[in-house]
Amino acid sequence: MKTFKLGGVHPAANKLSAGAPIEVAAVPAMVAIPMAQNLGAPSKAIVAKGDKVKVGTVIGEPGGFLSSYVHSSVSGTVDKVDVVEDATGKKVPAVFIKVEGDEWEESINRTKEIVRDIKLDKQQIIDKVKEMGIVGMGGATFPTQVKLTPPPTAKPECVIINAVECEPYLTSDHSLMLAHPEEICIGVQILEKAMGVNKAYIGIEANKPDAIELMRKTVAAGYPEIEVVPLQLKYPQGGEKQLINAVIGREVPSGGLPIATGALVQNVGTAFAVYEAVQKNKPLIERIVTVTGKSVAKPSNFLARLGVPIADLIAAAGGLPEDTGKVISGGPMMGKAMPDTNSYMVKGCSGILVMKNEEARRREAGPCIKCAKCVHACPMGLQPNFLSRYSELNMLAEAEEERIYDCIECGSCQFSCPANRPLLDWIRQGKPKVMGILRQRAADAKAKADAEKAAKEAAAAK
Amino acid sequence: MLNVSLSPHVHSGNSTQKCMLQVLIGLCPALLWSFYQFGSGAVIVTLASVAFCVLFEFLITRFLLKTPSTLGDLSAIVTGVLLAFNVPSNLPIWIIAIGALVAIGVGKMAFGGLGCNIFNPALVGRVFLLIAYPVQMTTWPTQAGYADVETGATPLALIGQYINGVANVQLPEIMDCLVGQTGGSLGEVSACALILGGIYMLVRKTITWHIPVAILVSAFVFAFLFFGFDATIAVEELLCGGMMLGAIFMATDYVSSPMNNRSQLIYGCCIGFLTIVIRRYGAYPEGMSFAILIMNAFTPLLNKYVKPTRFGVVKK
């Protein structure tokens, strides 16, 4: 079975909610839809207090090139445009909507019927994806229309669907595949059409045999250009670079775009959202989210509207247990610890993980015994022990030489360190500093080249 | 109030203590064999060595450094067992005490304790004793017991005499070396038991194969070249003396060995080469300890200049 070539670790899978059906989460009396739900510039709210909205009404416009539309996930009246805290505690603007009934925009096809015929052409698909506010659903929330428009030098060859779900605990992608296999395949075809390619792979880790079998069966029934690729269980296989490496054996060049390998990677949830957007005219107003944890009474997969309070979802899964020490947005390897449960559902939230007090605490760090387990664990071929030390001592030239900028922050090093050293904490301190130096150097070089060119032209003009 | 920290939020559960415990378990087969082969001598020497190593680390942290005790990481016990493995089973206790003091005091704590030492502490102790007490350190019991036991030549000495043309010298039997029915340091005699412990550590991922395999392959090749193109002697060079103990347990010491696969292969090949050169052309019949200590000194250099295979970087 295939997998990526370097490093990787095996955290306990703990897929507690695997097999739990997708439940529709209740719509509360009031939702707060944050205007910063994508990577890049936040969206601009275009509604004001008192405006009536329906499910699917645009309430936020892109705030830049790398940005997205945001739609109302409920019908009702805009109560206020205010500030809320996102999962990391950062303040972001949000539209509060008082829910009245459940009236949808008429343009949305709400029937259960599967629409197989793709009528839109390449550009229309990209425009539609933008209009419907689709972003990367794996957690990175990169605006999909931008990803579907690679630089003209790129030569796309295939689409790779990320259905790896290598983060422990999370099962949202798994449950999506079991519920909507054919829609996903049509979504993949739409992505192929948008990229002008005729080959697609769906990468699924071997701990989801039912999903592998179902997707294979679905593909065999009429999607011959799609290949389901079972992958050996190993974290961080869902990382874009690792997935491309695992599926087609190529390596994304350091500092380059993934598309340089000819592969466009999209999350399986994104493929489904693209299907709904293009075939059903449905904007991204809800997503599947896993609410789980060892102490959670009923680990669940919810289909939740955007803007629903996180606390409501935890309550629906049995409530926040007494001994909770940490609540994480996302999985335990790369998710973000939330300061409280007062934030709201967003497009990138694939899971809410509740950890007990005893699980939440880090053990005390000891001296590095140079066992090299971090070196063996690193999927990028880095030496995290040195990177961490260089960051700690602010030795940025050495950190650059050790390629700190290649770090994908997967956490495999810190996970495997027997001395419990906070390796990634330190690397995160040094990496932006080195990136800043690299950017400054590139800018200086460009300025110098421009000045020389201008001088040459001036000389030629004389 | 919820805990907030950066990812990752889970840990493998591995610890320094667990790693050291795995090494101790890996040492068990050879330890048991030494009890069988050398009887009370092996028991006394091992207990004394471990006790002195633990005692000196305790005293140093308590009264010199005034820092919390580091005995819980079990590394002092590992050093104690390894030091015992590297000395004859009839070594007087006062010499063991000096060896333990040098190993823990000079080899480890003087550099700043676990993780900071440049050289393998047990080997620092061993080599100090070898130079300071050459007679006691090269008298090899060939039977069980502690005091007044019969002593004899080690297989390496026999090979040395054989290759130098001393009359009436028989090469040791390969089977004896494999099982461990020969004279030698307490823990080094049974290649079989050491390999068994090594397999355990490989399975538990305590160590990787790179250093041991590199040492053994390179030692075999150079032994074949330097010992008259005789495959039997080359194999015996691998099975006798400190080769297996060194390759599996001493050279793989985390702290003093380099950190990526490539540098570990280079490190191992150099140890194999140096060992054979010292055995063949040096004043001592045994070269493993010196070879490892020499390469320990090169570890920082290897760490600096030999980089692991990078992801996404094409060689120019």
- pLDDT bucket at A414, cuts 50 / 70 / 90: very high
pLDDT at B315: 63
- Taking CB atoms and an 8 Å limit, are A420 and B11 in contact across chains? yes
The CA distance from A197 to A207, in Å, is 29
Give yes or no for B69 touching A (CB within 8 A): no
Q: Which pLDDT score, from 0 to 100, does residue B150 have?
A: 80
**Which residue of A lies nearest to B253 if distances are taken between CA atoms?**
A371
Our CA-based measurement puts residue B198 at a distance from the nearest CA of chain A, in whole angstroms, of 16
Rg of chain B on CA atoms, in Å: 20
Q: Which amino acid is at A420?
A: N
Q: Which long-range contacts (CB under 8 A, 24 or more apart) does A114-123 make?
A: A114/A182, A114/A183, A114/A186, A115/A186, A115/A279, A115/A280, A116/A186, A118/A186, A118/A189, A118/A190, A118/A193, A118/A278, A118/A279, A120/A190, A120/A278, A121/A193, A122/A193, A122/A194, A122/A196
Instruction: State the sign of the Cα–Cα–Cα–Cα dihedral B224, B227, B229, B232.
Output: negative
Annotate A260-289 with DSSP letters as a single string: GGTEEEEEHHHHHHHHHHHHH---S-EEEE
Beta bridge partners of A158: A263
Residue of A292, A334, A352, A369 to mutate, interface with B, max B Cβ within 10 Å: A369
Q: What pLDDT sits at residue B160?
A: 83
Mean pLDDT value across residues A375-396: 96
**B12 CB within 8 Å of a chain A CB:** yes
- The vertex-B131 CA angle with B129 and B136, nearest 5°, equals 60
Q: Tokens 């990812």 correspond to what residue?
A: B7
Which phi and psi angles does A322 have, rounded to 5°?
-55, -45
Whether A338 sits inside 8 A of B8 (CB atoms) is: no
Contact between B180 and B144 under an 8 Å Cβ cutoff? The reply is no
- Using a CB-CB cut-off of 8 Å, the residues of chain A touching B12 are 9, 11, 415-416
Please list every residue in chain B whose beta carbon sits closer than 8 Å to the beta carbon of residue A369: 16, 19, 75, 114-115, 254-255
Give the DSSP H/E element, type plus range, for residue B223: helix B210-226
User: A424–B15: do the CB atoms touch at under 8 Å?
Assistant: no
Q: In order along chain B (316 residues), what is the average pLDDT of each group of 10 residues?
A: 90 95 96 92 95 96 92 94 94 96 96 93 95 90 80 82 80 84 88 96 95 97 92 89 94 95 96 94 88 96 93 77
pLDDT in tens, A308-337: 999 999 999 999 999 999 999 999 999 999
Give the number of beta-carbon pairs within 8 Å between A and B: 157
From residue B106, alpha-carbon distances to A37, B88, B118, B255 in Å are: 58, 22, 11, 15
List pLDDT tens digits, range B65-80: 999 999 999 999 999 9
Identity of the residue in B3, B8, B14 whose CB atom sits nearest the CB atom of A332: B8
Which 244-303 residues of chain B touch chain A by CB within 8 A?
254-255, 257, 259-261, 303
Q: Which residue of B has its CA nearest to A7?
A: B311
Cis peptide before B8 (omega within 30 of 0): yes
Omega of the bond prior to A432 within 30 degrees of 0, cis? no
Contact A418 B255 (CB under 8 A): no
pLDDT above 90 for A118: yes
User: pLDDT tens digits for A449-462?
Assistant: 999 999 998 888 87
Distance from CA of B150 to the nearest CA of A (A): 41
**Cβ of residue B316 closer than 8 Å to a chain A Cβ:** no
Instruction: State the DSSP code for A9.
Output: B
| Minimum Cα–Cα distance from A253: chain B residue | B312
The pair phi, psi for residue B222, each rounded to 5°, is -75, -30
8 Å CB contact between A325 and A357 = yes
Q: Which of B12, B303, B307 has the CB atom closest to A415's CB atom?
A: B12
pTM: 0.91
pLDDT for A268-281, tens place per residue? Answer: 999 999 999 999 99
What is the mean pLDDT of the segment spanning A207-219?
Answer: 95
Q: What are phi and psi of A207, to 5 degrees?
A: -80, 10
Q: Which residues pair with A263 in a beta bridge?
A: A158
Are B311 and A409 within 8 A, CB to CB? Answer: no
Instruction: Write out chain B residues lying below 8 Å of A9, CB-based.
Output: 12
A387-411: pLDDT as tens digits: 999 999 999 999 999 999 999 999 9
Q: Kindly give the residue spans of alpha helices, DSSP state H, lying in A355-411.
A: 357-360, 373-377, 384-392, 396-401
For residue B116, give how far its alpha carbon lies from the nearest alpha carbon of chain A (Å).
8
Per-residue pLDDT band at A229 (split at 50, 70, 90):
very high
Of B5, B14, B261, which is closest to A362 when you measure between CB atoms?
B5
Q: Which residues are A143's β-sheet partners?
A: A135
pLDDT value at residue B178: 87
- In this prediction, residue B316 carries a pLDDT of 54
Query: How far apart are the C-alpha atoms of B67 and B70, rounded to whole Å?
Result: 8
pLDDT at B75: 94
pLDDT at residue B158, as a whole number: 83
- Residue-wise pLDDT for B129-157, tens only, equals 999 999 999 888 887 888 777 888 788 88
Collect all residues of chain A within an 8 Å Cβ-Cβ radius of residue B259: 370, 372, 375, 383, 385
Minimum-distance CB partner of A383 among B12, B116, B308: B308
Q: What is the DSSP string of B86-145?
A: TS-TT--HHHHHHHHHIIIIIIIGGGTSTTT-SS-HHHHHHHHHHHH-HHHHT-EE-SS-
Half-sphere exposure of B101 (CA within 13 A, CB side): 7
Are the beta carbons of B9 and A337 separated by less than 8 Å?
yes
